[in-house]
């Protein structure tokens, strides 16, 4: 390795370890005494280590968590700043070990604030993909995102095909959707009430695979995915294989969660690229594990997209509702059993006159 490459490595590694320690301090409320001692041994100058370790030992014996020790968080923050200013890059790389499981590049899920997880959906809305092999926690991670969304955006709604344990009584703010028409009703309601919404599509690859049998419908799905933020929404796409995510989704989804095993994920989010451990199970949005979420594209997507542009003076919600009403009337119209063509509309039957 050249001298220039070595210096780049030192700077990048120094920055990575500093950021890891800084994130730990940002989430100090979840810190353990073991992690505090690791921080002290790594980032505090030798002449102050004994004092701080004794403080930690006394508080731990008194069963007081680190966050309850007055001034400790500020003291550690100050030592981190001084250490970064006084040590050269090589010394920092060689001597610092960030609190947490640095060997596996993971931190506890609880260290990360909700706004960091939801960063992909800032502004008008955005996209996120969740992938991983079967039984690795993808659906559970999707449910955690639903919970965080509703907590961080009160009064909004989650639209999802995730099979819930109590499907007849979903959590407040969650609407079960098993078809495109169900999804559109939820979107129309959100638009009418001027609120944000989140669409979480579980086993999304199956939906796209079914649509691929009808090319027009597949193209329609991709076009609709493009305009989700324009309708005030955000989209989470849950699929087993990264390669199975449609190109249009990967083009728009700059954020990704990869589920490596139950309780462990790798996240690529704005401002955070790291492994996370101790991923909790969802406590509010409980789902039926092992069951595949069903979602049917039961409308003509091409007609939907033609109906969405502004015509007359109808709102977007009114245009979607009008399209659904017309679609329902069309489905009720009789078809010829052989050709599949629509038959003539049935005329109302007039009773024959009663003979006297």
- 142 located within any domain: yes
Does residue 41 share a domain with residue 166?
no
Does residue 176 share a domain with residue 245?
yes
Does residue 243 share a domain with residue 203?
yes
Does residue 123 share a domain with residue 96?
no
- 138 located within any domain: yes
Does residue 159 share a domain with residue 265?
yes
Q: Does 126 or 22 have the greater pLDDT score?
A: 126
Question: For 265-297, how does the pLDDT look when each residue is reduced to its tens digit (9 = 90+)?
Answer: 989 899 888 888 889 999 999 999 878 888 888
- 286 located within any domain: no
- 49 located within any domain: yes
Does residue 85 share a domain with residue 65?
yes
310 Cβ neighbours under 8 A, 6+ residues apart: 316, 319
Residue 288, token pair as written in the block: 């039926």
Q: Which domain holds residue 245?
A: 111-277
145-149, 203-207, 253-257, 340-344: the lowest-pLDDT one:
340-344
Sign of the dihedral defined by the CA atoms of residues 150, 156, 160, 163, in that order: positive
End-of-domain residue from the set 277, 303, 327: 277
Does residue 212 share a domain with residue 143?
yes
**pLDDT at position 105, please?**
53
Is 282 strand, coil or helix? Answer: coil
Question: For 55-89, how does the pLDDT look when each residue is reduced to its tens digit (9 = 90+)?
Answer: 999 998 888 889 989 889 999 888 887 765 545 44
Average pLDDT over residues 105-110: 78
End-of-domain residue from the set 242, 277, 312: 277
Does residue 260 share a domain with residue 145?
yes
Alpha helices per DSSP H over the chain: 3-26, 33-43, 46-61, 72-86, 89-95, 114-117, 138-152, 180-192, 204-212, 215-226, 247-252, 301-307, 316-332
Total count of domains within the chain: 2
Average pLDDT over residues 110-123: 91
Does residue 69 share a domain with residue 9?
yes
Does residue 95 share a domain with residue 237?
no
Write the CATH number for 134: 3.40.50.300
Question: For 2-18, how does the pLDDT look when each residue is reduced to its tens digit (9 = 90+)?
Answer: 555 555 555 555 666 77
- 82 located within any domain: yes
Does residue 81 share a domain with residue 7?
yes
End-of-domain residue from the set 100, 134, 169: 100
pTM of the model: 0.65
Does residue 126 share a domain with residue 64?
no
């Amino acid at each position: 390795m050249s001298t220039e490459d070595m210096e780049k490595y030192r700077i990048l590694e120094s920055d990575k370890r500093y950021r890891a320690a800084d994130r730990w301090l940002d989430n100090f409320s979840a810190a353990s005494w073991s992690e505090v001692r690791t921080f002290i041994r790594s980032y505090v100058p030798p002449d102050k280590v004994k004092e701080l370790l004794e403080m930690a030992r006394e508080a731990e014996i008194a069963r007081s968590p680190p966050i309850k020790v007055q001034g400790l968080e500020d003291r550690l923050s100050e030592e981190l700043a001084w250490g970064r200013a006084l040590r050269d890059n090589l010394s920092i790389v060689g001597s610092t070990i960030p609190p947490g499981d640095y060997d596996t590049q993971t931190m506890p899920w609880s260290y990360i604030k909700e706004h960091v997880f939801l960063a992909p959906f800032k502004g008008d809305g955005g996209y996120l993909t969740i992938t991983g092999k079967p039984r690795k926690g993808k659906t559970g991670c999707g449910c955690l995102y639903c919970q965080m969304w509703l907590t961080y955006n009160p009064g909004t709604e989650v639209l999802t095909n995730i099979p819930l344990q109590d499907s007849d009584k979903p959590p407040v703010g969650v609407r079960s959707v098993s078809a495109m028409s169900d999804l559109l009703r939820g979107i129309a309601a959100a638009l009418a009430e001027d609120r944000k919404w989140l669409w979480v599509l579980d086993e999304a690859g199956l939906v796209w695979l079914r649509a691929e049998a009808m090319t027009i419908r597949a193209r329609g799905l991709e076009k609709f995915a493009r305009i989700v933020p324009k309708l005030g929404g955000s989209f989470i796409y849950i699929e087993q294989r990264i390669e199975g995510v449609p190109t249009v989704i990967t083009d728009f989804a700059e954020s990704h969660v990869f589920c490596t095993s139950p309780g462990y994920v790798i996240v690529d989010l704005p401002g955070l690229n790291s492994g996370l451990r101790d991923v909790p199970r969802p406590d509010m949005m409980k789902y039926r594990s092992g069951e595949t979420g069903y979602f049917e594209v039961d409308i003509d997507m091409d007609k939907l997209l033609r109906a969405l542009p502004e015509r007359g003076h109808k709102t977007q919600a009114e245009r979607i509702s009008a399209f659904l009403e017309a679609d329902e009337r069309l489905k009720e119209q009789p078809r010829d059993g052989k050709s599949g063509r629509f038959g003539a509309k049935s005329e109302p039957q007039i009773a024959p006159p009663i003979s006297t």
